[in-house]
């Protein structure tokens, strides 16, 4: 996929209204960071993990609800709680 939609690649062909999308970017001192972002459920259990792109971007397709994003980059781990809703982008900027 190419192009950009907020925190991630183009979503052409995706029925966004039927999806719950959590996306964003990871930066350090304003610069994109290579690493991983984990998606943890409301109880803190591991659900998924994706690498950040060259521009620090990540995206998850999840169920509606409360989630924790855990950015894992060299020398730092940062958690962010989010509430995601179906049919809406949950955009998260994680600065480490």
Residue-wise pLDDT for 48-70, tens only, equals 999 999 999 999 999 999 999 99
CB 38 within 8 A of CB 46: yes
Residue 4 has a pLDDT of 37
Q: Which two tokens stand for residue 77?
A: 């781990």
User: Cα(4)–Cα(65) distance, rounded to whole angstroms?
Assistant: 25
Superfamily of domain 16-95: Immunoglobulins (2.60.40.10)
Owner of token pair 């989630």: 67
Band of the pLDDT at 39, cuts 50, 70, 90?
very high
Residue 17 has a pLDDT of 86
């Amino acid at each position: 996929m190419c192009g950009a939609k907020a925190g991630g690649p183009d979503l052409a062909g995706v029925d966004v209204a039927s999806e719950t999308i959590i996306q964003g970017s990871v930066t350090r001192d304003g610069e994109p960071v290579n690493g991983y972002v984990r998606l943890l459920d409301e109880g803190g259990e591991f659900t998924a993990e994706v690498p950040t792109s060259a521009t620090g971007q990540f995206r998850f397709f999840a169920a509606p609800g409360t989630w924790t994003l855990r950015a894992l980059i060299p020398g730092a781990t940062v958690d962010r709680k989010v509430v995601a809703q179906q049919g809406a982008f949950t955009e998260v900027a994680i600065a480490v």
